[in-house]
Amino acid sequence: MEALTRRALIAGAGTGAALALPLAAQRMVDLHLPGGPSARPMAPRFPQKGEMIVQRIRPPLFETPFEVFDQGVFTPNDRFFVRWHWADIPASIDAAAYRIAVRGAVRTPLSLSLSELLRAGEHVEVAAVNQCAGNSRGLFEPRVAVAEWANGAMGNALWKGVRLRDVLDKAGIGANAKFVRFGGLDKALVEGAPRFLKSLPIDIARRDDVIVAFAMNGAAMPLLNGYPVRLAVPGWFSTYWVKMLADIEVLTGEDDNFWMAKAYRMPTVPVKLGDKGFPTAPISTMPPRSWITGQTNGATIALRGIAMGGDTGVAKVELLTGGATVAAALGPDQGKYGFRRWSAALPSHTGEVVVRCTNANGVTQPDAQAWNPGGYARNAVERIRLGRA
Ligand SMILES: Nc1nc2c(c(=O)[nH]1)N[C@H]1C(S)=C(S)[C@@H](COP(=O)(O)O)O[C@H]1N2
Ligand SMILES: [Mo]
């Protein structure tokens, strides 16, 4: 396994694909976003990526075309969405020279090579959905005018890595440790812009399933998804899943950097467009969601789709149609943080249908979406009119 890992890391380095981003748009796709421009170009030419929806080129925001979610429970690496905040991203990585600093409130500050990192602890695997806090932002009304994703700023992968806890324990953390802050190799092109840094509370950082991942679906991760190593925080929005992880800093207090104190915060009270001065908290765990991904019409309408429980497993998926509730059959359980496939058969005359997931904590998707100024954490039920396919 160790040998395989090494090989994957080296192979990943070899691709070193220059991040030149000339747009070779092949065709346009309509994302059906309400209240504004909705068409986006598709582009097949980004390094290690297949056909993706281009939301923006610099910094890259590439969305997974929705039909990919109908093809399997795991999202292939070459179709996995891409999101960076700053445009200065290394175009290649020298795996042999790569170092990860572990510093701050630690007994022994470390500068780990990738092979030292791989030896820091047991290799563990976890299936987990990596979902941008802004996934589906384009569906908010009123509109929130940044990164207007449809539903493709998410993906499910089998992540493999070493526990963050083992890496922290190698350096030895003090009893006064409160947060752990993470930074990658990306930088802003603009002078003085705040480096992308995110922090986890120490108890989350020490969780059994929070890993420094070096593989994704059995291969090294694409450069754009954080090669050679990224954080995986199952159940939490992917803003914490820091890519090209190079800096781990143990803090003795709350992190007041821009990305924790100003960005990625959710109102803790109901708000509407124009409200100011309301209390907020850093976004953290994901709520349940579900989608219809495909339909086959016959004597009945066979529906299929995916669901996620968020920070726990899927308990049930229901189809609501004309006063009736039909329980979907759930596919194999890959672990509570991954996608779960589902299927159901509905009468052939069914018109509108709502798909709704309830997670193992008893949290159910709401009928209507509460608005927030960041356009974060959308999870209202999806409503679909079944056409004759
Ligand atoms: N180094 C670094 N890591 C990062 C980010 C970033 O800008 N820089 N963006 C975060 C956010 S907001 C998201 S949604 C995910 C996207 O992960 P992906 O590109 O692999 O899909 O990366 C996270 N990790
Ligand atoms: Mo994100």
Ligand 2 centre to CA of 153 (Å) is 8
Cα–Cα separations (whole angstroms), residue 37 to 55, 148, 313: 12, 10, 35
Whether residues 305 and 278 fall in one domain: no
Which pair of tokens denotes residue 55? Answer: 């939301």
Whether residues 107 and 222 fall in one domain: yes
Would residue 89 count as lying in a domain? Answer: no
> Could you list the pLDDT tens digit for every one of the 389 residues in the chain?
344 344 444 434 433 344 444 455 468 899 999 988 899 988 877 889 999 999 998 899 999 999 999 999 999 999 999 999 999 999 999 999 999 999 999 999 999 999 999 999 999 999 999 999 999 999 999 999 899 999 999 999 999 999 999 999 999 999 999 999 999 999 999 899 999 999 999 999 999 999 999 999 999 999 999 999 999 999 999 999 999 999 999 999 999 999 999 999 999 999 999 999 999 999 999 999 999 999 999 999 999 999 999 999 999 999 999 889 999 999 999 999 999 999 999 999 889 999 999 999 999 999 999 999 999 999 999 999 986 54
Whether residues 278 and 295 fall in one domain: no
Ligand 2 centre to CA of 258 (Å) is 15
The span from the CA of 105 to the CA of 173, in Å, is 6
Whether residues 106 and 199 fall in one domain: yes
- 8 A C-beta contact, residue 365 and residue 310: no
Phi, psi of 240 (to 5 degrees): -85, -10
Q: What CATH code is carried by the domain that includes residue 359?
A: 2.60.40.650
Q: Please tell me the residue having the least CA distance from ligand 1 atom 24.
A: 242
Q: What CATH code is carried by the domain that includes residue 222?
A: 3.90.420.10
- 8 A C-beta contact, residue 289 and residue 310: yes
Whether residues 165 and 108 fall in one domain: yes
Whether residues 187 and 313 fall in one domain: no
The number of domains in the chain is 2
Ligand 1 centre to CA of 44 (Å) is 20
Dihedral (CA of 145, 151, 157, 163) sign: positive
The span from the CA of 342 to the CA of 389, in Å, is 19
Instruction: State whether the beta carbon of 85 lies less than 6 angstroms from ligand 1.
Output: yes
What is the reported pTM?
0.94
Instruction: State whether the beta carbon of 239 lies less than 6 angstroms from ligand 1.
Output: yes
Based on C-alpha coordinates, what's the Rg of the chain? Answer: 21
Instruction: State whether the beta carbon of 83 lies less than 6 angstroms from ligand 1.
Output: yes
Would residue 75 count as lying in a domain? Answer: no
The span from the CA of 4 to the CA of 33, in Å, is 43
Instruction: State whether the beta carbon of 77 lies less than 6 angstroms from ligand 1.
Output: no
Where does a domain end: 248, 282, 316?
282
Ligand with smallest separation from the Cα of 156: 1
* Domain membership of residue 154 as a residue range: 99-133+149-282
Ligand 1 centre to CA of 238 (Å) is 6
